[in-house]
Structure 1
């Protein structure tokens, strides 16, 4: 069991959250799939719970107001030391800030933004809540990847806003760039061209660790979710792309180094 580092390097993914219509049903789905337990709060975010594994916070789930009909999707949050300054830089570099920055009680300060291609992400300025508190265990987020049409133009945006160093996979038929901070890979950009789902557009994908990908994919279906890409071997391990009952898409993976 590995506890995640206390305060994240600015730019590093530090939290994932999901806003849904049915908070109780969603808790049941993820509780059964990943063994999560839940704790309410912070109140400033409305109906909202934090998912816990072994007593450590690993993700957040909130409830949409009944009159809001937004896409149901996991949101990756990138760490910042100054949410207001980062929001200004996002706008200056061609991105959009849709929400905030707002204060989430004593937990911290957040904003929801999108890059120039339209992919939504969050920024998180930590106070009492530094982010995901457990790493590498089944049921924890282990990787975050932007799925987009092509990486070259959007890579410049993330590099300018967060200072990432870029490392491209040199391949004629594979458009993939890893984002590094302080010499360490923290996330990636994956250009899929025409394979990008038309109903989703560019989006950040959260990868959750599981102990057995095939069993977890079958469990998703038993719990009312869907398998979008069946279990397959990848460079990072055995993975499958799935969706919860409300349609939020995520990837499950048994990492190759486990």
Structure 2
């Protein structure tokens, strides 16, 4: 679980999550070893690293000087899987947890206090893990989000059912709210905010599949200039390729966490 989500840019110019309620606001990686994680993602994605006030186990990754993601070396300490997790902005972490549980989802961790906010780690009713964050976000982070260096896609059993679940938890597309819009496009559900693609939901995952890349899960995508170069760097630094297709590759990092690199193009 990510504990370096608050104010990732380190600025004092912040605004509360209720102003962007329901939108993806951060992605995080749980790791066993910060040193090898920093080396891997530095080589594959060109990230640089910054310490945060929460302690030596936590880092913020920077791309072109902008915050991209949080990394927390807590997988062994907290008996958690090494994995990437998206977080959604919440008006109230307690309210979000209650809504998830009322709709058949489960609570894994929290809500816990992490000044200047509160966080919780949850799973939807098909088992896909996600987090919620109540607190401050920096305006630098919002500018980064709108530049779309990453996006998230839910691979799940039934996209329509999942859209109802998350829509009820986060008020997606609620009448009178112009923050988010949900549309059915081809074989997936697309969440947009201010005209930008924020998340996609796609059917096809199997709840009991032994392969975690087939079970319902949120997949974090990072846009890159050269997918081939990322693949080569991942293989040189202890990672590997899960799947590959034109303009995109699903990679496994040196500790087993799965993520996707996608060629930078208009969506």
TM-score relative to the length of structure 1: 0.83
What residue ranges of structure 2 are gaps of 5+ in the alignment? Answer: 1-8, 174-181
Q: CA deviation at 1:202?
A: 0.9
8 Å CA contact 2:205–2:216 kept in 1: the answer is no
Q: Are 1:158 and 2:145 an aligned pair?
A: no
Counterpart-to-counterpart distance in 2, 1:219 and 1:117:
34
Counterpart-to-counterpart distance in 2, 1:195 and 1:93:
17
* Correspondences of 1:101-140 after superposition (within 5 Å): 101-106=111-116, 108-127=117-136, 131=141, 134-135=144-145
* Correspondences of 1:1-258 after superposition (within 5 Å): 9-43=20-54, 47-64=57-74, 66=76, 68-106=78-116, 108-127=117-136, 131=141, 134-135=144-145, 141-165=149-173, 166-170=182-186, 175-181=187-193, 184-193=196-205, 198-200=210-212, 201-230=215-244, 232-233=245-246, 238-257=247-266
What residue ranges of structure 1 are gaps of 5+ in the alignment? Answer: none
Q: CA deviation at 1:100?
A: 1.2
**Aligned pairs, number:** 242
8 Å CA contact 1:72–1:247 kept in 2: the answer is yes
Sort the Cα spacing of 1:177 and 1:128 in 2 relative to 1 into closer, same or farther, 3 A: closer
Sort the Cα spacing of 1:185 and 1:94 in 2 relative to 1 into closer, same or farther, 3 A: same
Q: CA deviation at 1:191?
A: 0.9
> What value does the CA root-mean-square deviation take over the aligned residues?
2.8
Sort the Cα spacing of 1:51 and 1:189 in 2 relative to 1 into closer, same or farther, 3 A: same
Q: CA deviation at 1:194?
A: 5.0
